[in-house]
Structure 1
Amino acid sequence: MTAYVIGNITVKDPDKWAEYRSLVPETLVPWSGELVLRGTRAKVLSGHYRHTDTVVIRFPDSDSVANWHNSPAYQALVPLRTQAADVDLVTFEAD
């Protein structure tokens, strides 16, 4: 079952965030992750949304998500991510 990672992001340091963003795609390759969307908030249509950016990544299944997230390659980027932005990552399985 296809799984998605959605990141809701508030950028703190644009330069570090740009560096982090440039390094993430190569960590997706072993797990067949595909970057679907990288976007900045255009307009809140309903409710409250505190973040500035969003990312959506598609994976073949939940195991691939877990393997990517726990991989040494991605975990090596987590300290940079933490310095660059406040990020809430969630995963969903598609029906």
Structure 2
Amino acid sequence: MPAYLLGQIAVHNESLWQEYLAGVARSLEPFEAHVLFRGKKVADLAGNNPRELAVVIEFKDQLDLNNWFNSDLYQSIISTRDAAADVVITSYNT
């Protein structure tokens, strides 16, 4: 069953964010994960979410999602992510 990652992002250092995105792309390749959506918020229709960006990534299953998140390559770029942005990452399945 596919698993989905939702990332909600407020960037505060664009150059570090671009460095992080390049690392994420490399880290996803071994897992054959696909970015389904990446976009910028237009409006909060209910509630207040301070994060301006969102991404949805599809993985084959929850095991692959977890293995990607815990992979050495992804773990090695977390400090860059944290320096670049305020990020909430949540996993979902259907």
Structure 1 Cα separation of the partners of residues 46 and 63 of structure 2 = 33
Deviation beyond 2 Å, 4+ runs, structure 1: none
Structure 1 Cα separation of the partners of residues 37 and 21 of structure 2 = 12
Deviations 1:6-34 (A, max 9, x none): 01111111111111112211111111211
Q: Which residue of 2 aligns with 1:70?
A: 70
Deviations 1:29-86 (A, max 9, x none): 1112111111111122222111011111000100000000000010011000000001
| Gaps in structure 2 of 5+ consecutive residues | none
Structure 1 Cα separation of the partners of residues 11 and 52 of structure 2 = 7
TM-score by length of 2: 0.94
Identity of aligned residues (%): 34
TM-score by length of 1: 0.93
Q: Which residue of 1 aligns with 2:81?
A: 81
Q: Once superposed, what is the RMSD of the aligned Cα atoms?
A: 0.9
